[in-house]
Structure 1
Amino acid sequence: MDADVPATTSVTLDVAGRTLRAHASAAPPDAPTVVWHHGTPQSGALLAPVVAAAARRGLRVVSYGRPSYGGSTPAPGRTVASAADDVAHVLDAFGVERAAFVGASGGGPHALACAALLPERATAAVSIAGLAPFEGFDWSAGMASDAALRSATRGREARAAHTDDDGVAGFVEPDWAALRGAWGALGADAGPAGEAWPDGVVDDDVAYAQAWGFTPQEVRVPVLLVHGGRDAVVPASHSRRLLELLPDAQLWLRPRDGHVSVLHALPVAFDWLVDLAAGAVRSSTPLP
């Protein structure tokens, strides 16, 4: 681990007979907290570029493996909304009262779920290359590969039978460059996570392609949406759709970025959270 990346602590929680594996970066007791919601697939372990960017801004990062990932017990039939109860237990375990919820790719819907369903604990939310709800628009338009998600609309058994998606269709050269560089930790985690916990991928996809268990209109905290204009994994139309649905949101579109390279914007998204907390910006002020 890089010298400027703080150490992390991992704990195993018992939540109603299920195990949740959770992680937190080292930080002062009064440090503002960001909950990082991982993409599909990931182990839930903290990624060095996330922790480093947060530490430079005085933020603590908390993360956890969703059910079936990284040592967390499977929970077939879970919805996107199910994340809120799990995250409440994780925050309690680390003694955190309030937090901002940040999700990348498949983590985006789960971050919004926590913002909507834990209103007394949410300060803000950030969705980076995140999905919108399945209903109400042409959800798969512009996706390089939507067969797995389409199969998920027919339920868990149909999605589990779909095994020919390598998960990288739609990556563009800036994505591969990011994985060779600053975001190599993401690729190093995602590959083994997909192989070790295929049920996590199945349950994630079914959750995305069914009713989420809440609506974006229920999110009452400021939300920052960040999306790459060249993203063909989750097209930018998803963030545009979320912008229509969320009561207090703004969209930062990065025209040259794809699905992974857009993560280069994470430090600026953290700056937005810091400024928001300090009252230095209004949630309705457009980003440059």
Structure 2
Amino acid sequence: MEQTSERRDAYASSPTSRTVSVAVDGAERTVSYADYGDPAGVPVLFFHGTPGSRLLGRLFHDSARRRGVRLLAPDRPGYGRSSPWPSRTLADTGRFVEPVLSDADVDRVGVVGFSGGGPHALAFAATHGRRVRRVDVVSGAVPPSVTASKPPALRLFESLANTAPALLRATLRLQRWVATRAPPSLVVSQYTDESDGVDDADADAVRRDFVEAFGRSRRGFVTEMRLLGDRWEWLPASLDVPVTFWHGTRDANVPAADARRFADRLSARWNALDGADHLYALLRGVPAVLDDRAAGR
């Protein structure tokens, strides 16, 4: 894991966000992103979790800068400062990512997806492979076809997203209100059983990410609960770019056995992170990915 003292300064100095316009089905939408790390470095696209925002990339700002990596972290539609897009599918990922890459003057990227960002990373590679060097999925969500077990909270959220979206949005609004007033450990406990062991600066970054996710809308989460629970018809039998899975052996959010079945289906490389749960796989896995990208692997 990164030395936590190296990340503290990054939280105060992380870059401001940029916003680009996206024309979708005759409507003008906006997509916001943050540009972390080394502005002249190796470009890597980072997809936050579900829920999440561009602010999650702040965890890795300093480590990316020291490695010579430029980390582009967009808010997906309906999160943070990006406009909602309730009708989107996973196959639409490239339609809001390409304007970000164009604005950042980037042609090809390595792609990293955490948790619910994993399917988006794979979808972008499947539909826009010419722009993707490789994909790394960290604690990634898996399709229903390989899911043997699912946390009760996730089953509830998926059900509400399909049957009572207004109720789910109200619940998320309340959760955000609590998160802005409660200790960061309350939010962190959703991702790890060891919240007391998470560095204070990291815990605060995770809380800020959660709060920002629902700052303007709750529709992004509702949309993705539907998307992730549906059949992933956009996913081919194999991808034309290298794929690596990084997954904690103690992940309770996405069981490792389910993720391994999915990795095998994609003929992807498998890296088990011994003893890591959902959050600690993120904190250990992404720096390892940045090491590989900085070395040209």
Q: 2:22 aligns with which of 15, 24, 49?
A: 15
Structure-2 residue corresponding to 1:240: 260
Q: CA deviation at 1:78?
A: 1.4
Structure-1 residue corresponding to 2:274: 255
Matched, 1:203 2:223: yes
Q: CA deviation at 1:176?
A: 4.9
Q: CA deviation at 1:77?
A: 2.0
Structure-2 residue corresponding to 1:128: 138
2:113 alignment partner AA: G
Structure-1 residue corresponding to 2:101: 91
Matched, 1:47 2:48: no
Matched, 1:184 2:204: yes
Aligned length: 271
C-alpha contact (below 8 Å) 2:122/2:135 kept by paired residues: yes
Structure 1 unmatched runs, 5+ = 279-288
C-alpha contact (below 8 Å) 1:80/1:213 kept by paired residues: no
C-alpha contact (below 8 Å) 1:36/1:102 kept by paired residues: yes
Q: Which moved more, 1:94-103 or 1:42-51?
A: 42-51
Q: CA deviation at 1:144?
A: 5.0
Structure-2 residue corresponding to 1:146: 154
* Partner SS for 2:225: helix
* Partner SS for 1:182: helix
Runs ≥4 residues deviating over 3 A: 1-7, 155-172, 179-184
**Which is helix-richer, 1 or 2?**
2
* Partner SS for 1:212: coil
Structure 2 unmatched runs, 5+ = 1-6, 176-186
C-alpha contact (below 8 Å) 2:148/2:258 kept by paired residues: no
Q: CA deviation at 1:197?
A: 2.6
C-alpha contact (below 8 Å) 1:9/1:26 kept by paired residues: no
User: Which of the pair has the greater relative contact order for Cα pairs under 8 Å at 6+ separation?
Assistant: 2
Q: Which moved more, 1:19-28 or 1:262-271?
A: 19-28
C-alpha contact (below 8 Å) 2:42/2:293 kept by paired residues: no
Superposition map of 1:37-116 within 5 A: 37-45=47-55, 47-116=57-126
Q: TM-score, normalised by structure 1?
A: 0.83
C-alpha contact (below 8 Å) 1:179/1:186 kept by paired residues: no
Compute the RMSD of aligned alpha carbons: 2.7
Q: Tell me how far apart the structure 2 counterparts of residues 259 and 221 of structure 1 sit (CA, whole Å).
A: 25
Q: TM-score, normalised by structure 2?
A: 0.80
1:210-247 deviation per Cα after TM superposition (whole angstroms, max 9, x unaligned): 13352153422111211111111111133212212214
Once the two structures are aligned, what percentage of the paired residues are identical? 30
Q: CA deviation at 1:36?
A: 0.7
Superposition map of 1:263-278 within 5 A: 263-265=282-284, 266-275=286-295, 277-278=296-297
2:33 alignment partner AA: A
